[in-house]
Structure 1
């Protein structure tokens, strides 16, 4: 793969890191400085996709029931709520952020900042009214991720971080991390995890390998496939679709005029505020990690993956 043009383009963007692997082998590594490979840093909402993996593992182990289980089994407040529709919220609705809560993460209601300033995050989320029937609309909601983290801790009988050490981080060889907690000591489900770029790449590689690592199965193939399947359309202005705390998309756009060529490849990805990404492209056996730490005004305003990396991958696909 000719990466000369990519090297020059990314150098101008001054990213914190960019890593690309193909068939499990690194083919591109670019760091801002010599310290970056060894330093953990915030992955922000990429934490959600790590939580998704842990939920999938717990379902495989029988610690958690299936995705169509009512969330009220874990939160009796939902069953007691005057709005009977809250009883219909399932684990699947939580995973696909389609529970229907009246929530705007930032702007508008500023639901996320209000949650983090509240004394009890879970109660704050459960008390929000519904704006839509469960399962009908996707609304980005880190409070839902906190609910899932609380559910996992309850089912596993240990903290989410300890469960991750035993069943995900340990097997992947991830030894250096930090993870924030809410006021009740529950690890943050929607953000707050710090990892090294190389360990983010390992996590993406696990999904590329359909849940297998060093000849050991960490997540079942069936659960991996279901969790990254496009389940519901993203709410505008976000593009693509949403799975179980994973984003999905195609390159180039799949919604062109009738008769146009089919997409060159599908991909799914973890996405964190400020330029943190883990992309998985199954048809090309490729994983891409991007991290950044610059203030918003100094960051590249476009989509780095689609504008600079995807075209290189597409050319390689056409030439092979």
Structure 2
């Protein structure tokens, strides 16, 4: 690519300079906290400038956060770039790219499925294709996708289908010879100043497409701003206006006619891996509250990461508090006002507080240096030990990923790195306290993900009972578990 101008920072401005009262942003943040919606970060842009930004400590601006399905909007963007480069067209048939993986008997519906159907989640499938793809024994997800029944005519039936996004990634890799991540690096990530993005892959090295991208909050905001600016960045047209228009317009209806659908942001229509929003906006979003909300009429972008189980309530806060505050200039107080100062203080003090404790427990001496063997369990946890000193505790877990050591601060967060959630190392901020009932309570924040793990240990003579609870999970049965351990 020719002459890249790299910008890693968006311009900053006071809210009032861009026609938003600081008090409205303060109200939004307070509403999020009062409803305990679990935000990790928040950034608001108006007229191209960041007017408010905050991270709930120990989450930080420089930390990347897993986007889950917000990744899909980046996959869609790669297809838009590939169309402009003439690598493919939206009418190209999906089976045509994979002659060796297509079934011997191609159904009329599968034969008809094209790239636009993948983009709009209108493949004709009636069940999400991802679970059978991920469980395919040879790791050939493309073949698994093409062998699933296509019950409806493509383009007529909306079904949120993460396998469709994966197929877009596979097609892009087929026509470009590059992974999705490699393809987007010079064309999107470098121009926007997005540094060191990571993207998970399938067993055959194809980026997941529908999830698995990790970037920072400011990177999400820049991506939204690019779409708001009709694909122009630093006076360069990165994406065509035609693509922006098509991707962010309603391509297929997803209103199932259920009660309350009119006020749900999941039934306003779907574009090309972008959701239509109420109030004329559009968004990319991901599980547990990862958002890139674009509001063209207000010339605004909202970027949010979180660990939330109620995404609609977060969006309701945007519609009910932030949006009306951008409708008029006359009510905006001058900069340097008390409201300005209050907002700055509020943003500075955002945090997840570690559990506070009055004093150490007599059980610390008993537990230190002891190893407890855990009874057989589905999570494959084999042994646990906790040792204490004046400032911290050391938790050692022996399990499916070997021995993992986590430091926990005494009433404060301490940073560690360990393999607990999956086979890759996670950055963890942890603390511990003793509850009134004499139980050891350990809190682990996986700060590059939506997840928080709480572990509570009760001591019974020479055994322990360990209760663990995740704040969120894709499958409810993974939320809680109880382990019993005996002194080794």
Bin the TM-score by the shorter chain: 0.7 to 0.9
The answer to whether the Cα contact below 8 Å between 1:72 and 1:79 also exists between their aligned partners in 2 is no
In 1, Cα distance between equivalents of 2:272 and 2:255? 15
Q: 2:318 aligns with which of 293, 302, 309?
A: 309
Q: Does 1:319 align with 2:328?
A: yes
Q: Match of 1:8?
A: 30
1:64-83 correspondence to structure 2 within 5 Å: 64=88, 66-76=89-99, 77-78=101-102, 80-83=104-107
- Quote the Cα distance in structure 2 between the aligned partners of 1:316 and 1:82: 54
Give runs of aligned pairs for residues 1-320 of structure 1, distance below 5 A.
Answer: 1-2=20-21, 3-12=25-34, 13=36, 14-33=38-57, 35-64=59-88, 66-76=89-99, 77-78=101-102, 80-103=104-127, 105=128, 111-118=129-136, 119-234=139-254, 236=256, 238-251=266-279, 266-293=280-307, 299-300=309-310, 302-305=312-315, 307-320=316-329
> Which has more radius of gyration?
2
Answer with 308-317 or 19-28: which moved more. 308-317
Residue 10 of structure 1 and its aligned partner are, at CA, apart by 2.3
Please tell me whether the aligned partners of residues 298 and 327 of structure 2 are also in contact (alpha carbons under 8 angstroms).
no
Deviations 1:139-159 (A, max 9, x none): 111111111101101111111
CA distance in 1, matches of 2:310, 2:176: 41
Greater CA drift, 226-235 or 146-155: 226-235
Distance 2:268 2:194 in 1: 30
Distance in structure 2 (CA, Å) of the matches to 1:80 and 1:159: 28
CA distance in 2: counterparts of 1:98 and 1:279, whole angstroms: 23
What displacement does 1:235 show? 5.8
Flag as ranges the 4+ runs of structure 1 deviating above 6 A.
none
TM-score (norm 1): 0.87
Q: Cα 1:185–1:235, aligned 2, differ >3 Å: closer, same or farther? A: farther
What is the CA deviation profile of residues 220-278 of structure 1, one whole-angstrom value per residue up to 9, with x for unaligned ones? 11111111110111264732110001001223xxxxxxxxxxxxxx0110010111111
Cα distance in structure 1, aligned partners of 2:109 and 2:310: 42
Q: CA deviation at 1:79?
A: 8.0
Residue of structure 1 equivalent to 2:436 = none
Give, in angstroms, the shift of residue 95 of structure 1. 0.7
Looking at structure 2, the residues matched to 193 and 233 of structure 1 have their Cα atoms a distance apart, in angstroms, of 27
Mapped to 2, the partners of 1:284 and 1:165 lie a distance apart of 30
CA positional deviation for 1:80 = 4.6
d(CA) in 1 for partners of 2:327, 2:199: 41
What is the alpha-carbon root mean square deviation over aligned residues? 1.8
How far apart in 2 are the matches of 1:242 and 1:79?
A: 29
Greater RCO, 1 or 2 (C-alpha within 8 Å, sep 6+): 1
Indicate if the aligned counterparts of 1:250 and 1:267 stay in contact, CA closer than 8 A.
yes
Measure, in 1, the Cα distance between the counterparts of 2:250 and 2:233. Answer: 24
SS in structure 2 opposite 1:232? coil
Residues 185 and 9 (structure 1), Cα distance of their counterparts in 2 relative to 1, 3 Å cut = same
Which SS does the other structure have where 1:181 is aligned? Answer: coil
1:314 CA drift (Å):
3.5
Secondary structure at the aligned position of 1:277 is classed as strand
**Displacement after TM superposition at 1:43 (Å):** 0.1
Which one has a larger percent helix, Structure 1 or Structure 2?
1
Bigger strand share:
2
Q: TM-score, normalised by structure 2?
A: 0.58
> What SS does the aligned partner of 1:30 have?
strand
Q: Taking structure 1 as reference, are residues 125 and 282 closer, same or farther at Cα in structure 2, changes over 3 Å only?
A: same
Structure 1: tracts of 5 or more residues without a match: 106-110, 252-265
Q: Which moved more, 1:235-244 or 1:82-91?
A: 235-244
Between the aligned partners of 1:153 and 1:301, the Cα distance in structure 2 is: 32
